Amino acid sequence: MANQFDVVVIGAGPAGYVCAIRAAQLGLKTACIEKWTDDKGKTKLGGTCLNVGCIPSKALLDSSHKFVEAQKDFKLHGINHSGVEMDVPQMVARKDKIVDQLTGGVGGLFKANKVTLFEGAGKVLANKQIELTKGDGSVEIIDTKNVVIATGSRPVEIPPTPTDGDLIVDSTGALQFQETPKRLGVIGAGVIGLELGSVWGRLGSEVIVLEAMDRFLAAADEQISKESLKIFKKQGLDIRMSARVTASEIKGKEVHVTYSDADGNDNVVVFDKLIVAVGRRPYTESLLSPDCGVNMDERGFIFVDEHCATDVPGVYAIGDVVRGPMLAHKGSEEGIMVADIIAGHVGHMNYELIPSVIYTHPEIAWVGKTEQELKAEGVDYKMGTFPFAASGRALAANEKEGMVKVISDVKSDRILGIHVVGPSAAELVQQGVIAMEFAASTEDLALTIFSHPTLSEALHEAVLAVDGQAIHIANRKRR
């Protein structure tokens, strides 16, 4: 037996690489398998998040936001310049450099923690054996006591708009445009569609976002999603709800997209580039041998319990390939939980408090329950809001759009949800996540000292507003 491991992780994305590092830290003999390679055949660690997801999209969002600020906001501060230009290839090259640095960093962490890297495709056989198919086609069997499947997700394709890698692209292609498309179509007004639409809209694309659902950001708190939609429309994003794409046709260098609107009428819009961002699906291609014993649910996710255990003892699955929100921090925490369990420790993960962030500008973030969820559950709640327009720090920064909203239980005052659209939304929500992990009441946060002037004060004031005690806004009359 050439290879015998305690743990073999399949996939080196945020779920898999974190799991492998934690398992190695806990003294387990650990290997990680990754098949993703760049066009030169070099293995790429870090998965979707580092290579074509979280990190590259944030790099482009930050670059494009600076461009907008320079173009539109600098004058306000008294900063005059004779014109700003965006060099798109340079912006994309900077992004690629960051990606290279971080993915290389994962390789360094593997070495430092003595995680064995296998380059190739892993397949789960019966009896927890792993078949490794390398780039050159050779096959090797790896024996292991535990298997962790972390194979991630792929963009969903829809029949009316097959991607061609040129005019019709998925999120990966949209991170690689070498020039700003004049007319850009985005199918899907979810996180990915909004972020990518924002990047290219800021650089001058005329953006139309087509969304099949009738409610904007259905998972977010309704008040926050309404406020956000208003802000995005003001920024020039043409977001069309209840727009169901039925067909597309490539004519020369143009994409003609047909969609039916809320009234059932057909409309045709013409784009230079079209991004399909309708969702992501679990990726399990060639992963499971028919007799391995691991089962999938009806949507193609690997079936697991609350501790990410599959139907086969010693085989776990984590991240986008299993149920729950498709978020990097969710996958990573599952990786830690599973490594802990394999090492014989208690493994725990609080699925109630996974924060969500949309990195538009202003940013949108939330944790816990939305007002509509609490209504549906019949919970007696109270809530307070605070607008950034009343925050001294926000005004100084010229970031006056958006608001903080805090919801708590009427009887216990325990905080149930925190929702923010505005500057540093993710950081403000994170303060709430910490408080909520300790079962904080709004009174707990009200009694906490917040620095002045900071954006965090908006959270403090929203918390005070829950009981009509905000200082810097007129409080709403209690019912």
Partner 1 sequence: EDPILSPAARKIAEEKGIDPAAIAGTGKGGRVTKEDVVRHAEAKPAA
Nearer to partner 1, 448 or 475 (CB): 448
Nearer to partner 1, 376 or 434 (CB): 434
The CA distance from 221 to 185, in Å, is 26
- Which range touches partner 1 (CB under 8 A), out of 161-169, 239-247, 318-326, 432-440? 432-440
Token readout for 386 is 């605070």
* Residue 344 beta carbon to partner 1: minimum distance, rounded to whole angstroms: 10
Among 69, 119, 311, 444, binds partner 1 (CB under 8 A): 444
Is 472 one of the catalytic residues?
no
CB 435 within 8 A of CB 463: no
Nearer to partner 1, 2 or 346 (CB): 346
- Binding to partner 1 (CB under 8 A) within 332-391 occurs at 345-346, 348, 350
Nearer to partner 1, 107 or 347 (CB): 347
Q: Which residue in 183, 184, 242 sits closest to 210, CA to CA? A: 242
Q: Does 474 bind partner 1 (CB under 8 A)?
A: no
* Residue 435 beta carbon to partner 1: minimum distance, rounded to whole angstroms: 11
Q: Which residue in 269, 272, 103 sits closest to 182, CA to CA? A: 272
Q: Does 97 bind partner 1 (CB under 8 A)?
A: no
Nearer to partner 1, 247 or 439 (CB): 439
- Binding to partner 1 (CB under 8 A) within 264-283 occurs at none
| Residue 307, C-beta contacts closer than 8 angstroms, at least 6 positions apart | 316, 337, 338, 341, 347
* Residue 439 beta carbon to partner 1: minimum distance, rounded to whole angstroms: 4
* Residue 412 beta carbon to partner 1: minimum distance, rounded to whole angstroms: 8
Nearer to partner 1, 87 or 306 (CB): 306
* Residue 72 beta carbon to partner 1: minimum distance, rounded to whole angstroms: 43
Catalytic residue among 81, 307, 419, 452: 452
Tokens 């139309």 sit at which residue? Answer: 208
- Tell me how many degrees the CA angle 202-206-211 measures, rounded to the nearest 5: 100
Nearer to partner 1, 13 or 347 (CB): 347
Among 93, 139, 396, 439, binds partner 1 (CB under 8 A): 439
> How many residues contact partner 1, by CB under 8 A?
8
The CA distance from 106 to 16, in Å, is 11
Among 27, 76, 252, 438, binds partner 1 (CB under 8 A): 438
Strands (E), 47-138: 116-119, 121-124, 130-133
CB burial of 290-326 (b: ≥16 within 10 Å; e: otherwise) equals eebbbebeeeebbebeeebbbebeebbbbbbbbbbeb
Q: Between the CA of residue 178 and those of 51, 58, 360, what are the distances in Å? A: 17, 17, 21
Among 108, 437, 451, 452, binds partner 1 (CB under 8 A): 437
The CA distance from 155 to 52, in Å, is 11
Positive or negative torsion for Cα 189, 352, 445, 467: positive
* Residue 390 beta carbon to partner 1: minimum distance, rounded to whole angstroms: 29
Active-site residues: which are they? 452
Binding site for partner 1 (CB under 8 A): 345-346, 348, 350, 437-439, 444
